[in-house]
Chain A
Amino acid sequence: MKKLKLIVSLIILTFFSLFALFPIGYIFAVSFKNNNSFQLSSFQIWTDSSSFDNYIKLFTETQFPTWLINSLVVSTSVTLFGITLAAFAAYALSRFPLRGGPTFLLVLLSTQMLPATMLLLPFYLLLSKFGLANHYLGLLIIYSSTALPFCIWQLKAWFDSIPKSLEEAAQVDGSTRLQAFFKVILPISGPALAVTSLFQFMTAWSEYAIAAIILQDSELFTLPVGLKSFQASLATEWGLYAAAAVLVSIPAVLLFTLLSKALISGLTMGSVKG
Chain B
Amino acid sequence: MKTDSFSIKLIIRNKINSSFKIMALVLFFSFLYPQLSLADAKDKNFIHIKLWHQLMYAHRTVQAQAIANFEKLNPGIKIESVYKETEDLRSSYQAAALVGGGPELIYGPSDQVGPLQIMGLIAPMQDYLDLTGLNDFDPLSIIKVQDQIYMLGDTVGNHISLIYNKKLISAPPQNTKEMFEQGAKYKNGFYIVWPMQEPYFFVPWIAGFGGQFITAMAEPQLDQPAVTQALALVKKLKESSFVPKEADYETANALFKEGKAAMIINGDWSWGDYQKAGIDFSIARLPMISETKLWPSPLVATKGYSVNASIKPEKREAVKKLLEYLTSAEVQALYSKEVSTMPARLSVRLTPTVTENELLQKSADILLVGTPMPIFPELRAVWDSLRAQYQSVLGGSSDPVTAAKMAQSEALRQIKVMNEIRQPDEQAYVVKGLILLFALFLIYKLIKERGIFKEIIFGEYRLGYAFLIPAALVVTLVIVFPFFYNIFISFSNLSLKTFQDWSITGFHNYFDIFKEPQFFSVFLKTLLWTFLNLFFHVSIGLVLALVLDDLIPFKGLWRTLLIIPWAVPQYISALTWRGMFNQEFGPINQILTEFMHMSPVEWLSRPFEAFSACLLTNVWLGFPFMMMVTLGGLQGIPKELYEAARVDGGNALHRFRYVTWPLLQPVLMPSIVLGGIWTFNNLNVVWLVSNAGEPADSTHILVSYVYKSAFNLYRYGFSAALSVVIFLMLLLATLFYFKISKSEKGNP
Instruction: Give the CA-CA distance A179 to B624 in the complex, in Å.
Output: 37
Chain A hits for B464, CB < 8 A: 92, 95-96, 98
Q: Would B463 and A96 count as touching, CB distance under 8 A? A: yes
A44 CB → nearest B CB, Å: 11
Asked if A110 is at the interface (CB within 8 A of a chain B CB), the reply is yes
A254 CB → nearest B CB, Å: 8
A-B contact pairs, 23 of them (CB 8 A): A9-B547, A22-B580, A22-B587, A24-B564, A26-B579, A36-B276, A41-B258, A88-B467, A92-B463, A98-B461, A111-B479, A114-B727, A115-B723, A117-B723, A119-B486, A122-B485, A125-B98, A148-B471, A216-B52, A233-B87, A260-B628, A265-B632, A266-B632
Q: Would A9 and B577 count as touching, CB distance under 8 A? A: no
Given A26-B576, A36-B273, A36-B277: A16 and B38 interface contact (C-beta under 8 Å)? no
Q: Would A271 and B565 count as touching, CB distance under 8 A? A: no
Instruction: Give the CA-CA distance A149 to B681 in the complex, in Å.
Output: 16
Asked if A4 is at the interface (CB within 8 A of a chain B CB), the reply is no
Asked if A230 is at the interface (CB within 8 A of a chain B CB), the reply is yes
Q: In the complex, which residue of chain A has the Cβ closest to the Cβ of B580?
A: A26
Interface residues of B in 552-597 (CB under 8 A from A): 552, 556, 558-573, 576-577, 579-580, 582, 585, 587, 590
Q: Would B636 and A116 count as touching, CB distance under 8 A? A: no
Q: Would A114 and B483 count as touching, CB distance under 8 A? A: yes
Asked if A77 is at the interface (CB within 8 A of a chain B CB), the reply is yes
Asked if A162 is at the interface (CB within 8 A of a chain B CB), the reply is no
Given A9-B550, A252-B569, A260-B556: A40 and B587 interface contact (C-beta under 8 Å)? yes
Chain A hits for B455, CB < 8 A: 99
Chain B hits for A149, CB < 8 A: 475
Chain A hits for B439, CB < 8 A: none
Given A21-B564, A115-B726, A272-B666: A245 and B572 interface contact (C-beta under 8 Å)? yes
* Pair count A-B, CB < 8 A: 376
Mask for A139-164, Cβ within 8 A of B = 1, else 0?
Answer: 00110111011101100010000000
Asked if B36 is at the interface (CB within 8 A of a chain A CB), the reply is yes
Q: Tell me which of B101, B103, B486 contacts A128 (CB under 8 A).
A: B101
Q: Would B666 and A27 count as touching, CB distance under 8 A? A: no
Asked if B468 is at the interface (CB within 8 A of a chain A CB), the reply is yes
Asked if A97 is at the interface (CB within 8 A of a chain B CB), the reply is yes
Asked if B529 is at the interface (CB within 8 A of a chain A CB), the reply is no
Asked if B96 is at the interface (CB within 8 A of a chain A CB), the reply is yes
Instruction: Give the CA-CA distance A39 to B84 in the complex, in Å.
Output: 25
B280 CB → nearest A CB, Å: 16
Q: Would B543 and A12 count as touching, CB distance under 8 A? A: yes
Asked if B458 is at the interface (CB within 8 A of a chain A CB), the reply is no
Chain B hits for A236, CB < 8 A: 250
Stretch of B110-118, B404-412, B417-425, B670-678 on the interface side: B670-678
Instruction: Give the CA-CA distance A21 to B594 in the complex, in Å.
Output: 20
Chain A hits for B463, CB < 8 A: 92, 96, 177-178
Q: Would B629 and A274 count as touching, CB distance under 8 A? A: no
Q: Would B632 and A267 count as touching, CB distance under 8 A? A: yes
Asked if B325 is at the interface (CB within 8 A of a chain A CB), the reply is no
Q: Would A37 and B254 count as touching, CB distance under 8 A? A: yes
Q: Knowing that A35-B258, A109-B674, A109-B734 are A-B contacts, what are 17 other residue pairs whose CB atoms are under 8 Å apart, sorted by A's residue number?
A: A37-B258, A38-B579, A43-B590, A99-B455, A111-B475, A113-B731, A115-B683, A120-B91, A125-B99, A126-B478, A152-B471, A213-B91, A234-B195, A234-B270, A260-B563, A260-B628, A272-B637
Mask for A95-107, Cβ within 8 A of B = 1, else 0?
Answer: 1111111001001
Q: In the complex, which residue of chain A has the Cβ closest to the Cβ of B58?
A: A235
Asked if B253 is at the interface (CB within 8 A of a chain A CB), the reply is yes
Given A92-B467, A264-B632: A216 and B667 interface contact (C-beta under 8 Å)? no
> How many residues does chain B have at the interface if contact means C-beta atoms less than 8 Å apart?
145
Asked if B707 is at the interface (CB within 8 A of a chain A CB), the reply is yes
Q: Would B587 and A272 count as touching, CB distance under 8 A? A: no
Q: Would B576 and A23 count as touching, CB distance under 8 A? A: yes
Chain A hits for B478, CB < 8 A: 123, 126, 141-142, 145-146
| B interface secondary structure, majority | helix
Q: Would A220 and B677 count as touching, CB distance under 8 A? A: no
Q: In the complex, which residue of chain B has the Cβ closest to the Cβ of A269?
A: B670
Chain A, interface residues (CB within 8 Å), range: 35 or more
Question: Using a CB–CB distance below 8 Å, which chain B residues touch chain A?
Answer: 9-10, 13-14, 17, 28-29, 32, 35-39, 50, 52, 54-58, 80-88, 91-92, 95-96, 98-99, 101, 103, 195, 249-251, 253-255, 257-258, 267, 269-270, 273, 276-277, 449, 452, 455, 461, 463-468, 470-472, 474-475, 477-479, 481-483, 485-486, 540, 543-544, 547-548, 550, 552, 556, 558-573, 576-577, 579-580, 582, 585, 587, 590, 620, 623-625, 628-629, 631-633, 635-637, 663-664, 666-667, 670-671, 674, 677-678, 681, 683, 703, 706-707, 710, 716, 719-720, 723-724, 726-727, 730-731, 734, 745
Q: Would A249 and B569 count as touching, CB distance under 8 A? A: yes
A213 CB → nearest B CB, Å: 5
Q: Would B486 and A148 count as touching, CB distance under 8 A? A: no
Instruction: Give the CA-CA distance A145 to B478 in the complex, in Å.
Output: 7
Given A92-B465, A141-B478: A23 and B666 interface contact (C-beta under 8 Å)? no
Chain A hits for B628, CB < 8 A: 260, 263-264, 267
Chain B hits for A22, CB < 8 A: 580, 587
